[in-house]
Structure 1
Amino acid sequence: MNIIIIEDELKTAKSLENIILGLRPADKIIGQYQSVSASVTALTEGPMPDLIFMDVQLADGLCFEIFKSVKITCPVVFCTAYDEYSMEAFKNNGVDYVLKPFAKQDIQEALQKVDELKNFFQQRALPDLGDLLSKLSVPSGKTSFLVFKNQKYKTISIDEIAFFYIHNELTWIMCFDKQQFSVNQSLDQITQAVSAKQFFRLNRQYLVNFKAIKEVEPYFLRKLYVRLVIEAPDKLLVNKEKSHSFLSWMEDR
């Protein structure tokens, strides 16, 4: 079986390839692509594979954009970090999925399901992905925040923000250029609003952008000490209960 992997995280793509070939040595990975545009080009110009493993959120947008440009005639297994409720749409349309972080057994079961559904995919068209996209709400997070300073309103792009933090019972934005702005939302509200892939809640006071992290080192009592590319007002520590999930978040790029 010829397989294509569409996944913007190189480590995840390589891990997926190793698992597939370990389970199915006779199968071939004929392509790996990280973006919507590269996938569209490959699927338009090259042969259609027998199976695609596809991440939902790619480097340049949602994977469903691919289906608007290319007629996909093979089964697709979606790999995603999003919850089972959002994935019900896939299950009802006969397309399998695995939730990240996935294990060998997850991929094995997905491949077995594809084998069992071969006749289904040969006899029926794939679901309308445009309709699926309109029904599926994939939480990508806020893209900007409205702030007020010097008697003026302005928007701050999420990519400009190094971290959010609490000081004197107020929530503040610290930008990479060291500008600071207060916001009305609580840190809990902001944590829910931003992308969980881009920001991590280190502790009760700090929510940090991945791009702001310079280095991490072990600290006393199995805590982690986080250094940022710009100086923070406080020493940033992650407690031992949260350290494993933090390091997993750091690695999941």
Structure 2
Amino acid sequence: MNIIIIEDEFRAAKSLQNLIAELKPEAKITGVYDSIEMSIEALKESKPDLIFMDIHLSDGLSFEIFKQVEITCPVVFCTAFDQYMLDAFKSKGVDYVLKPFSRDDIAEAFRKFDELKKFFQKTELPELEALLQKIAQPQAAAKSSFLVFKNQKYTTIPTENIAYFFIHNEITHLMTFDKQQFQLTQTLGQIAEQVSQKQFFRVNRQYIINFSAIKEMEHYFQRKILVKLTVETPEQLLINKEKSHSFFTWLEDR
């Protein structure tokens, strides 16, 4: 499998290369490009099987690439902004990963890509319309509760009672508004897909927070945002400057 990365942030591009090498060692990264112009020239000459693409590039939005060259393969969009999701899915997006992305996020993107590949193998004459229908199918209803196990007992926690989800010692936990903590088997990436995106926001790699749990916010060093919740968190909740715009957009979208 040949993969192209279109990303103008060096650290993000390097992280993607490392994760791809780990998750898909058989894959070959045939190029890493940081601008619309370079990407167009490269895609005129090569036909990758999958593209990882940032949306905000140094010379504009990457959607311009689709106007200049025909892209026939699925695209995984990796970006710090969530307002372009519909445009991404219209542009052959197989997944939409918000930065800062994690290993679980990229693994989930590969899982979706593999599902599409199986779909194509079962269809003699696959058409773009069939692909778009599979990608853009209505989202399942948000999860209303989580099954947990503690003290040799199973119980369910209503999602509305959860202040935040977090990772500690590589294990996913939830914290309720009455300060009860439970372990979960799902990854944070899986939880982000299951809960209401209007009610919950993934502030970083370690935390997903409930809108109802937000107490106050303030500016922090290096243009970060410090978020304080009504239920104390083990670490400070910091949102980097790249993600702050989508965070405030989420806050206003109610």
Normalising by the residue count of structure 2, what TM-score does the alignment of the two structures yield?
0.49
**Structure number with bigger Rg:** 1
